[in-house]
């Protein structure tokens, strides 16, 4: 049995950051939180006064390390994406497939299944962002891929049996019974890339929609006489909202409004990351078109935003600095709340006995110094 003692740091617990806490890890799980002098047994890991937080969980990762999931639907591709994001504190993620043909979706799901079965570190499932979306809010998605799923495709889309499946769709573009069928098969359904009205969004929530993909972006806005998708998202206490905090996708004031409107714990950080995160080049191809990051902003040839060059450590740092939230809450938005959204809140997202030892050591500038998954670097 391998025992590791993490000590001499600020440890994020349910009470906030605790300076005198030490974390005892055995066989990949936290077994105790102690105070005072750390026990003599086991390997000591000196945190040197840094901040130890739960590993970040990113539910929307299109790519990283030079790899776009759509272009490399393989176990090796998923592993490369995971390695790239681990440098920035991400210990759990959903490889995210942008709208594509059924054959590509099938390969992506099989790759996720195989990656989990083979123990590729960090893979928690898959996110299918489309293709059941609205052409009017397509963003950089190819509307030529959009369609309404039949029974066979519903079964295929929700067929991952050893991980979590998140499916983003436009509720006005699919029958309510389709949403219910996906939910009944275990998928977590989110609204996104949607031109729905408030009433259509409310119907989707009643049918089982659990959240909203990159709130504010690619959806109908909140207006005085037409609340739209954003209004429905902010009004609904039970749903989750992913937000891209990069200073580009959404104005900080709008994000502050969302955080104030939603119950605590219902807003979570996502990156919507593209291959340049942890990669060597600022460009990649999607649907035969070159997408490029200029000054950290990712756009297609038409100038539309096309995902982001954001990593989770930067998202946490931006949440603290742009939104004025304390570091402990910013870290929960990157770990505890995504875990709860995925239904994994009993095993991931906290530093507590019984939880997997997915841990990140930050310095005072919220830069990642070290990262452990299941207690191992």
Q: What is the pLDDT along the chain (377 residues), one digit of tens a residue?
A: 789 999 999 999 999 999 989 999 999 999 999 998 888 888 999 999 999 999 999 999 999 999 999 999 999 999 999 999 999 999 999 999 999 999 999 999 999 999 999 999 999 999 999 999 999 999 999 999 999 999 999 999 999 999 999 999 999 999 999 999 999 999 999 999 999 999 999 999 999 999 999 999 999 999 999 999 999 999 999 999 999 999 999 999 999 999 999 999 999 999 999 999 999 999 999 999 999 999 889 998 888 899 999 999 999 999 999 999 999 999 999 999 999 999 999 999 999 999 999 999 999 999 999 999 999 99
Residue 18 covered by a domain:
yes
Query: What is d(CA 218, CA 291) in angstroms, rounded to the nearest whole number?
Result: 18
Residues 66, 36 within the same domain: no
Residues 293, 207 within the same domain: yes
Residue 195 covered by a domain:
yes
Structural domain boundaries enclosing 11: 3-53+353-372
140 among the known binding-site residues?
yes
Residues 22, 131 within the same domain: no
Cα-flanking dihedrals φ and ψ of residue 250, to 5°?
A: -140, 140
- Identify the CATH number of the domain in which residue 16 sits: 2.30.40.10
Residues 152, 22 within the same domain: no
pLDDT in tens, 350-373: 999 999 999 999 999 999 999 999
80 among the known binding-site residues?
no
Residues 107, 96 within the same domain: yes
Residue 346 covered by a domain:
no
8 A C-beta contact, residue 348 and residue 59: no
Residues 193, 177 within the same domain: yes
Residues 143, 275 within the same domain: yes
Residue 348 covered by a domain:
no
Of 278, 276, 312, give the one whose Cα is nearest residue 94.
312
Catalytic choice (272, 285, 363, 376) = 272
Residues 217, 284 within the same domain: yes
271 among the known binding-site residues?
no
129 among the known binding-site residues?
yes
Residue 358 covered by a domain:
yes
Tally of domains in the chain? 2
Residues 64, 127 within the same domain: yes
225 among the known binding-site residues?
yes
Residues 127, 271 within the same domain: yes
Tokens of 346: 């009993």
Catalytic residue status for 272: yes
- Identify the CATH number of the domain in which residue 223 sits: 3.20.20.140
Residues 172, 193 within the same domain: yes
Residues 214, 240 within the same domain: yes
228 among the known binding-site residues?
no
How many residues are listed for the chain in this entry? 377
pLDDT in tens, 58-108: 999 999 999 999 999 999 999 999 999 999 999 999 999 999 999 999 999
């Amino acid at each position: 049995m391998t025992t590791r003692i993490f000590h001499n740091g600020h440890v994020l617990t349910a009470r906030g950051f605790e300076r005198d806490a030490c974390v005892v890890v055995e066989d990949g799980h936290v077994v105790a939180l102690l105070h005072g002098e750390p026990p003599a047994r086991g390997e000591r890991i000196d945190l040197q006064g840094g901040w130890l937080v739960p590993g970040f969980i990113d539910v929307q990762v299109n790519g990283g390390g030079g790899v776009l999931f759509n272009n490399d639907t393989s176990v090796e591709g998923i592993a490369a994406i995971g390695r790239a994001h681990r440098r920035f504190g991400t210990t759990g993620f959903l490889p995210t497939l942008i709208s594509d043909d059924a054959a590509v979706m099938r390969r992506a799901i099989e790759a996720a299944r195989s990656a989990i079965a083979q123990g590729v570190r960090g893979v928690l499932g898959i996110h299918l962002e489309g293709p059941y979306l609205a052409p009017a809010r397509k963003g950089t998605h190819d509307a030529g891929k959009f369609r309404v799923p039949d029974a066979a495709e519903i079964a295929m889309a929700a067929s991952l049996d050893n991980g979590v499946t998140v499916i983003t769709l436009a509720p006005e573009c699919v029958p309510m019974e389709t949403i219910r069928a996906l939910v009944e098969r275990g998928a977590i359904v989110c609204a996104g890339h949607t031109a729905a009205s408030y009433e259509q969004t409310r119907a989707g929530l009643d049918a089982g929609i659990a959240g909203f993909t990159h709130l504010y972006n690619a959806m109908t806005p909140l207006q005085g006489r037409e609340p739209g998708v954003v209004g429905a998202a902010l009004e609904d206490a039970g749903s989750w909202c992913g937000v891209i905090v990069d200073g580009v996708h959404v104005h900080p004031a709008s994000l502050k409004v969302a955080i104030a409107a939603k119950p605590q714990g219902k807003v979570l950080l996502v990156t919507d990351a593209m291959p340049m995160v942890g990669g060597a080049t600022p460009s990649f191809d999607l649907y035969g078109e070159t997408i490029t990051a200029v000054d950290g902003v990712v756009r297609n040839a038409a100038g539309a935003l096309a995902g982001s060059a954001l990593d989770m450590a930067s998202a946490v740092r931006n949440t603290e600095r742009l939104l004025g939230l304390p570091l402990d809450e910013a870290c929960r938005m990157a770990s505890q709340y995504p875990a709860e959204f995925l239904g994994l809140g009993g095993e991931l997202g906290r530093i507590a006995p019984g939880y997997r030892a997915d841990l990140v050591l930050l310095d005072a500038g919220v830069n990642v110094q070290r990262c452990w998954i299941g207690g191992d670097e």
